[in-house]
Structure 1
Amino acid sequence: MKFTALPLQGAYLIKPEVYSDGRGHFFRYFCKDEFTQIGHTKEWLQCNHSFTKTKGSIRGMHFQLPPHSEIKMVRCIAGQVLDVIVDLRKDSPTFLQWNSVELSAENRNMLYIPEGFAHGFQTLTDNCELLYHHTALYKPGAEGGLRFNDPRLGINWPITPTVISERDHNHTLVDNFFEGIKI
């Protein structure tokens, strides 16, 4: 695997080394030893799978508050998405900055998202499926969210949004009193 550091400290684009022959292909999705190269030592505790049927749909921007903060690793296994992260870490030099990467079944790339980040994505095709690995169990009382179209964040979604859940549409806007998440 090749780990490429993204502009937001602690976040990585992971490109698997794909081995192909006449039968198809093979690649490693996770290797504990290789992940120690980027300082990852936590255990993956939960895996989730999402399906989003309509191009232009947005899911996010979600996070969990301490002490239930989580590291996520995300991979698109069907379709194509723009995956977006926002740094919410208090006192981070990139506080409230965002970054995006394209994940697709074709490129097989993965996104490593550190604790203290909000995460979401927009589908660039119909029928997208994502796999998520989490280092913390989901705790309903610890969930948080940012509005996908918050002008303070200025996330550049490439397609006019088509489908957004009521919950995601109603997240509050970041105001001047938001100090971030202490990890």
Structure 2
Amino acid sequence: MKFRELGIEGVFEVSPQLHGDPRGLFTEWYRFDKLAQVVGHPLRLAQANLSVSSRGVVRGIHFADVPPGQAKYVTCVRGAVLDVIVDLRVGSPTFGRWEGVRLDDVDRRGVYIPEGMGHGFCALTDDATLSYLCSETYSPTGEHGVHPMDPDLGIEWPADTPLLSAKDTAAPSLAEAISTGLLPDYETCRTFTEGLRSTG
């Protein structure tokens, strides 16, 4: 299992070792101990989600209040997606930057997304199925979104006609989210992460 930190602090691409033969395939797609060594603390597993999307569906950009935030470990168990992580931490050196990682059922890569990040994806195939391991349970009052098509984000979605939910269509722009104080604060996120390291 190999970890590669992307261009946003704390975000990691995870490449598992695949063991295949004519019978099929085996891989360890998640190891709490190896992830903890890389990020500095264990990922608390509070909830697991499964998402199935048709080709061209775009979901996101979603984020949670910090604290407690919601760290995620995401992998694609069927089909393929472009998984997108956006740094929404106000004051971060990489604020507003996005990174895209192809997740699919061939290479079976995953991504670790820490608290304070925005997350979304575009389904590249029909029945694209994502598995999420989450550090916190869903909190309807503590979870928010930024419009995925906001030109200020400039995300290059690989879909001619992206299909959005009504909720994501109604999400505020990045500028609106900044002006209303909706976004996480960089220093608050860093302090929160340091607290996880000290107790982990």
Range class of TM-score, shorter chain:
over 0.9
Query: Partner amino acid for 2:159?
Result: I
Q: Alpha-carbon deviations, 1:89-109, whole Å to 9, x = none?
A: 122110111110100111100
SS of match in other structure, 1:76 = strand
Q: Alpha-carbon deviations, 1:153-176, whole Å to 9, x = none?
A: 111112123421010011011116
SS of match in other structure, 2:141 = helix
The answer to whether structure 1 residue 126 and structure 2 residue 129 are counterparts is no
More helix by share: 2
Q: Counterpart of 1:89?
A: 89
Partners of 1:40 and 1:119 lie apart in 2 by 21
Q: Counterpart of 1:107?
A: 107
Moved more, 22-31 or 54-63: 22-31
Q: Counterpart of 1:5?
A: 5
Query: What's the offset of the Cα at 1:22?
Result: 3.3
Query: What's the offset of the Cα at 1:59?
Result: 0.7
Unaligned residue ranges in structure 2 (runs of 5+) = 190-200
SS of match in other structure, 1:140 = coil
Give the TM-score taking structure 2 as reference length: 0.86
Give 1:1-183 correspondences, 5 Å limit. 1-38=1-38, 39-52=40-53, 54-175=54-175, 177=179, 180-182=183-185, 183=189
Inter-CA distance 158–68: structure 2 relative to 1 (3 Å threshold)? same
Partners of 1:75 and 1:81 lie apart in 2 by 10
Partners of 2:57 and 2:36 lie apart in 1 by 34
Query: What's the offset of the Cα at 1:37?
Result: 2.1
Query: Partner amino acid for 1:51?
Result: V
Moved more, 8-17 or 59-68: 59-68
Query: Partner amino acid for 1:181?
Result: P
Q: 1:68·1:137 contact (CA, 8 Å) conserved in 2?
A: no
SS of match in other structure, 1:158 = coil
Percent identical: 38
Give the TM-score taking structure 1 as reference length: 0.94
Query: What's the offset of the Cα at 1:130?
Result: 0.5
Query: What's the offset of the Cα at 1:23?
Result: 2.2
Query: What's the offset of the Cα at 1:42?
Result: 3.1
How many residue pairs end up in the alignment?
Answer: 182
Unaligned residue ranges in structure 1 (runs of 5+) = none
SS of match in other structure, 2:45 = coil
Partners of 1:138 and 1:163 lie apart in 2 by 23
